[in-house]
Amino acid sequence: MKNLRQRKLFPDRGKSVFILAIGLIFMMLIVAAIFYIRNGIASVKKKIGNELVSIAELKRNGITEWYLDEINDAAAISANTFLHAVYLKSISSGDEASGADLITFLNDLKTEHGYSEIFLTDVEGNLRLSTSADSSGPGTALVGFIKEAVREKMVICTGLYLSPVNNAPRIDFIAPLALPEGELQSAIVLSIDPYDYLYPLLSFYPSPGRSSESVLLMKEGDQVLVLSNLRFEDGAALRKRIPLPDLKGNEALATDGFKGIIEITDYRGIEIYAYLCPVEGTSWYLITKIDKDELYSGLREEIVLVLILLVLVGLFLGAVFWLYNAERQRRVLASLLQAREEFRTTIYSIGDGVIITDKAGMIQNMNPVAESLTGWKESDALNRSITEVFRIASEDTDEEVPNPVIKVLSSGIVVGLANHTNLISKDGKRIPIADSGAPIRDESGSVTGAVLVFHDQSQQRNYQAALESSEARYRRMFVENPQPMWIYALESLRFLEVNDAAIEKYGYSHDEFLSMTIMDIRPDDEHERLIKSISETSFELNHAGEWKHLKKNGEVIWVVIVSHLVTYNGIRARHVMVDDITERKLAEQALQRSEEKFRVLFENHSAVKLLIDAASGQIVDANASATAYYGWTYKELTGMNIADINTLPADKLKVEMENVRNRKQNHFEFRHRHKDGSFSDVEVFSSSIVISGKVFLHSIVHDVSAKKFAEQRVNLLIRSIEQSPVGIIITNPHGIIEFVNPKYLQMSGLDSEELIGFVPSLLNRKTGDRQIVEEVWAAVGAGKEWSGEYPEHRRNGGTFWENAVISPVFDKEQQISHYVIILEDITAQKRMISELKAAKEKAEESDRLKSAFLANMSHEIRTPMNGIIGFMDLLQEPDLESELRSEYIGIVKSSGERLLSTINDIIDISKIESGQAVVNHTRTNVNQLIDRLYKFFRYEADEKGLVFSVEQKLNDEQTWVNSDHVKLESILTNLIKNALKFTRRGSVKLSYWLVDDSMLEFRISDTGKGIPADRLQSIFERFVQADVSYSRDYEGSGLGLSICKAYAGMMGGDITVESEVGKGSVFIFTLPYLPADEGHTAHEKMHDSVAEPPAGNLILVAEDDDISYYYLNKLLAGRQVKLIRALNGEEAVMQCRENPNISLVLMDIKMPLLDGYDATRQILEIRNELPVVALTAYAFEEDRQKALDCGCVDYVSKPLKRDTFLAMIDRYMPDKKGL
């Protein structure tokens, strides 16, 4: 009894583990559901966000394009010359016809562009003209925009606003009319109703929802102004303002230029999901939104389904737990019943007598052995005291001893009996017994009774009870098993027993089954196989495999059978267990049919087909078309990788294969290799398929080489026509244009829309030259080609010449289907021929001028040279008088200066011709320059008896300018010299002043001989003078004015002349006025820095030419200076380093070993205070600038002028005493 009480069929630990497992599964499902919901929310947000971005960007681009188009249209309309003409004519003369034309023109513009109103105003906003008869003109709000547009000379947009007339939204584009100067400043106002395009664009939604909308907004301080209509609030456009604090999540709206997805509350206070972006070129923002409620509407259904599924799974798990617990309780109850039955069976069948009492010692059970031994029937003994029925006495004394049950009940312990105890039966018979008693306890451990066991005589009976219990259990397992089972006789094949699952599966009743054999549930085609299987099956356990069975309703099902040998009621039989595999079998058959169909289609298809391993690229199958196309056998082809055929690099090919696997792309164009080494262009369609759990690529290949070649030919032809250097027009047989290439559009200035559908003038009998048109039609109508030159008009009204060739195009029936017109613009050729004729005439004229010029140059060079050489010979006479010597020296000097002037002119003109002349702006005092020129030329004027005067009109603040000082002085010097040279009596006057604060104007007027009218322009040409004859009265090279003209142009100015023969000339020289600061230039500072050099009168002369050094030595003879000489640049550097007494360096630029520039730089590195003066025969201005840039303080050009040179020496020598 103790073992029975402690026995537990289902331990508590197993129950706890099962509950824990159920809980964990349910928690995992909850976590999975939460993850799924969150992922769904993120996916929906991403998808809807992408849609909102696409829609918003589409609308934003549309708004931007519309806005820019309106700006450009306004600019184009305001620049229309016809509009200007009729407007000016209408307002100036009040011409009614012009006014009517203007109204018609404006109405046409209004209709064409969809404007609600167009009106013209003056700059003060006064209405001049309107397309609306009852127009009130611009309101006061528009006047400011009109003034701004006229002042800034640009198109101004008012933005969206409520019209003061009808309180309706509108937007105006205001453009100034580009009228000629002096005319009334006016503007054109183009009014647009946003309901015509802008608002419909916003309201359009590709995928309409119940809450989606796009709205234009504009920030005004801490408020947002709604610019467009709202879907859920009428009349909100330009009337509704929403305070930013009222919008939950308004940080994005408060950030200027923000662009992105936002989550805020809208004007209804409803949470929305939206995309916000600024509209380019405006202060507007576009927001495209959807209510969060709608955003999650589709997901909400999925969430509900997930929750329902989760609840169902929870209920299922609960049901499983309930079934588990119920089964557990059922098993416990069955176990208890079984235990009770076993207990009863045990006590009634064991060979010992057993008596059971309650806790009061009253008999509850007695087994037969106990009855037999005690003499009491159990029925008589029930509820009798154990002491009355079970009386024991000592075998030795025959005295009754205490009953062991009383002791067990009182002490709760097991009591063993002595071996020598006799049981006194009812009839007084003594029976020796020896055994024990034990307490019976409940779950709490309390004693509920006792069991007394003595000399068990019922082992056989107990065995029988156990056997019957086992058979009952097996029966229940068979009958109640959910898998169909039966038992059939091996000899007769008749069903001996079937369970309920078989009855339910096959539709037969239990009695019907028992009247049938196993042959009755087999189709006829299975009988032979069944008999063979039974005859060959000798082992006990048999996996009989798959079979077809017949149900009662005639349905055939597929089953898997497992059987084993049994003996049933003495009959050799088999116990069969059946598993229904019909669904799996049908699926396998369908798959097999699909594979067979695919195999037939694959192998017999005319297209090239390949089956490729998606992971490795290995070709695993190919059809006959593939082997025929590529040239490899099936075995060769299936042993290759797709990379052996495809010319694409391996890494790129892998990417494309991955795209097919991921279903991103299934159409490709490749180049494939053939066995013979050739290549073909192919078009490939690929898709991924799964075979036996492995991914393959099914590729269909089409050869498109011919198609590619044809496309290339067509594209080449199209590109050739489109990129042709000549114009091409194609017309139909009636001469109507069907195609025109870009070159002709460029030639004519027209758009294709203006040409296609019209007849070109060359074929137009109405608008073209009738004679030429008839000639053309006569030729091409007869199937011949026509060519010729023809004048045509451009869009801008200009005329151009074209060389035209017209050829007919014939169809298959040799009928003319089209005409091809080849047009070449020969305007430039005609112009070139005309210019060549003019150039020829000019060249002939220049040839005549050149002859005269060469004679003049010969005269200008030979004459001074003759004077120099001749008088130098005279100076060599030993007894020459002092006065004559001085006269001769003056003549030689004058002739040398004349020769040097001619050479300088030739050098200057060569620099200009070669492009080496540059402008070097420096700070220049104009008044000081003019004063210096006046003082210089005053003596020459006095000598000639002329009055030379200057009229100065620049104050001290205006006199400093940024200009090229050298070129400015050269121009003025040349003009003054010419005036003095060509004036024999009278006066020469120099005047200058500032014009409009932008130009300096110089006038050099004289009372000389004047210039003929036909020579006024030619005097500025190179080598040309007013008098080009051999008998001219004045010397000169004829280059001076040409040089001045070129210098003036380089400096941004010009030189013109006014003259009358016999009365004199006025040369007018203009120059841009560039004011300069009052500071010092770099060179002035440099000069200032050496104003007071160190003491000493030692001069280093770096000169490699002996005659030049001798000349310098003679110039400085008699002055308190000492000269030392360096023959090259390196020697000059060395002497400056070793001799600190050197106080001035005269540096020749061109010397051996080290030139003057580098020598100067090295000397200044050693002694930066030492002044260096450049001496050079170079005459270019850039050479002077280069010398100053390397550190020279001054620049003297050879041949040296004595007075200028000595003045320079005095300026830089530190000790001027005795100089």
Residue 1207 and residue 1115 in contact, taking contact as beta carbons nearer than 8 Å: no
4 has a pLDDT exceeding 60: no
Of 557-566, 639-648, 1029-1038, 1103-1112, which gets the smallest average pLDDT? 1029-1038
- Host H or E run for residue 841: helix 827-875
Rounded to 5°, the CA angle 1208-1212-1218 comes to 85
Alpha-helical (H) ranges within 1073-1180 are: 1082-1089, 1106-1115, 1129-1138, 1156-1166
Closest CA to 194 of 241, 242, 226, 154: 226
CATH, range 724-832: 3.30.450.20
Q: What is the pTM of this model?
A: 0.33
Spatial neighbors of 362 by CB under 8 A, at least 6 apart, are 383, 384, 385, 386
Q: Are strands 619-622 and 608-613 parallel, antiparallel or unpaired?
A: antiparallel
- Residue 459 confidence (pLDDT): 47
Q: How many CB atoms lie within 10 A of CB 1009?
A: 19
- Residue 886 confidence (pLDDT): 82
* Topology at the third CATH level for domain 197-295: Beta-Lactamase (3.30.450)
Rounded to 5°, the CA angle 900-903-908 comes to 120
User: Tokens at residue 326, please?
Assistant: 């119920």
CATH of 350-456, picked from 3.30.450.20, 3.60.20.10, 3.40.718.10, 2.60.40.2140, is 3.30.450.20
Would you list the DSSP string of 79-91?
T-HHHHHHHHHHH
Q: How many whole angstroms separate alpha carbon 909 and alpha carbon 487?
A: 131
Residue 1063 and residue 1070 in contact, taking contact as beta carbons nearer than 8 Å: no
- Residue where the block lists tokens 């700059």: 123
User: Tokens at residue 1114, please?
Assistant: 């003679």
Determine the average pLDDT of the residues in 362-368. Answer: 86
Determine the average pLDDT of the residues in 337-348. Answer: 70
Give the residue with greater pLDDT, 207 vs 549.
Answer: 549
1200 has a pLDDT exceeding 90: no
C-alpha dihedral, 12 to 17 to 22 to 23, nearest 10°:
100
Whether 595-703 shares its CATH topology with 724-832 is answered yes
Query: What's the whole-number average pLDDT of the chain?
Result: 81
- Residue 461 confidence (pLDDT): 40
Q: Which of 34-38, 395-399, 580-584, 1038-1042 has the highest mean pLDDT?
A: 580-584
- Residue 1070 confidence (pLDDT): 93
- Residue 336 confidence (pLDDT): 67
981 has a pLDDT exceeding 60: yes
CATH, range 1098-1212: 3.40.50.2300
- Sorted by where each begins, the domain ranges of the chain are 68-192, 197-295, 350-456, 480-521+556-577, 595-703, 724-832, 918-1026+1036-1072, 1098-1212
Partners of residue 613 on adjacent β-strands: 696
Q: What are phi and psi of 810, to 5 degrees?
A: -105, 145
Long-range contacts of 295-299 (CB under 8 A, 24+ apart): 295/44, 295/45, 295/48, 296/41, 296/44, 298/44, 299/37, 299/40, 299/41, 299/44
Of 9-13, 127-131, 853-857, which gets the smallest average pLDDT? 9-13
Give the residue with greater pLDDT, 1012 vs 908.
Answer: 1012
Q: How many whole angstroms separate alpha carbon 914 and alpha carbon 911?
A: 5
- Residue 508 confidence (pLDDT): 93
Model confidence at 1009, in pLDDT bands (50, 70, 90)?
Answer: confident
- Residue 1092 confidence (pLDDT): 35
CA distances to 609, 673, 675, 967 from 678, rounded to whole Å, are 19, 6, 7, 74
Q: How many whole angstroms separate alpha carbon 287 and alpha carbon 55?
A: 10
Model confidence at 317, in pLDDT bands (50, 70, 90)?
Answer: confident
pLDDT per position as a tens digit, 846-902: 676 666 566 566 656 766 776 678 778 778 888 778 887 887 787 777 777 767 777
Residue 1216 and residue 1096 in contact, taking contact as beta carbons nearer than 8 Å: no
- Residue 1081 confidence (pLDDT): 40
- Residue 1204 confidence (pLDDT): 81
pLDDT per position as a tens digit, 1130-1152: 999 999 998 989 999 999 988 88
Three-state DSSP string of 966-1024: HHHHHHHHHHHHHHHHCCCCCEEEEEEEEECCCEEEEEEEECCCCCCHHHCCHHHCCCC
- Residue 182 confidence (pLDDT): 62
Q: Which of 58-62, 253-257, 306-310, 917-921 has the highest mean pLDDT?
A: 58-62
- Residue where the block lists tokens 């999540």: 249
Q: How many whole angstroms separate alpha carbon 1041 and alpha carbon 302?
A: 95
Of 23-27, 60-64, 144-148, which gets the smallest average pLDDT? 23-27
Q: How many whole angstroms separate alpha carbon 612 and alpha carbon 619?
A: 5
CATH, range 480-521+556-577: 3.30.450.20
569 has a pLDDT exceeding 70: yes
- Residue 201 confidence (pLDDT): 83
Give the residue with greater pLDDT, 179 vs 494.
Answer: 494
- Residue 303 confidence (pLDDT): 75
Partners of residue 564 on adjacent β-strands: 541, 575
- The share of the chain scoring above pLDDT 90, in percent, equals 16
Closest CA to 352 of 463, 454, 220, 246: 454
- Residue 203 confidence (pLDDT): 80
pLDDT per position as a tens digit, 468-522: 666 677 777 888 888 899 999 988 999 999 999 899 989 999 999 999 999 999 9
Q: How many whole angstroms separate alpha carbon 807 and alpha carbon 877?
A: 92
CATH of 918-1026+1036-1072, picked from 3.20.20.140, 3.30.565.10, 3.30.70.270, 3.30.9.10, is 3.30.565.10
Long-range contacts of 648-657 (CB under 8 A, 24+ apart): 653/617, 654/617, 657/612, 657/614, 657/617, 657/697
- Residue 475 confidence (pLDDT): 77
Q: How many whole angstroms separate alpha carbon 748 and alpha carbon 949?
A: 59
Model confidence at 1023, in pLDDT bands (50, 70, 90)?
Answer: low
- Residue 242 confidence (pLDDT): 85
Spatial neighbors of 295 by CB under 8 A, at least 6 apart, are 44, 45, 48, 273
188 DSSP 8-state letter: E
User: Tokens at residue 754, please?
Assistant: 């203006």
792 has a pLDDT exceeding 90: no
Sheet strands (E) in 780-841? 786-793, 799-810, 816-825
- Residue where the block lists tokens 């082997």: 627
1075 DSSP 8-state letter: B
Q: In CATH terms, is domain 68-192 a member of 3.30.565.10?
A: no
CATH of 595-703, picked from 3.30.930.10, 3.40.50.20, 1.10.8.10, 3.30.450.20, is 3.30.450.20
CA distances to 14, 68, 337, 1140 from 9, rounded to whole Å, are 10, 88, 13, 126
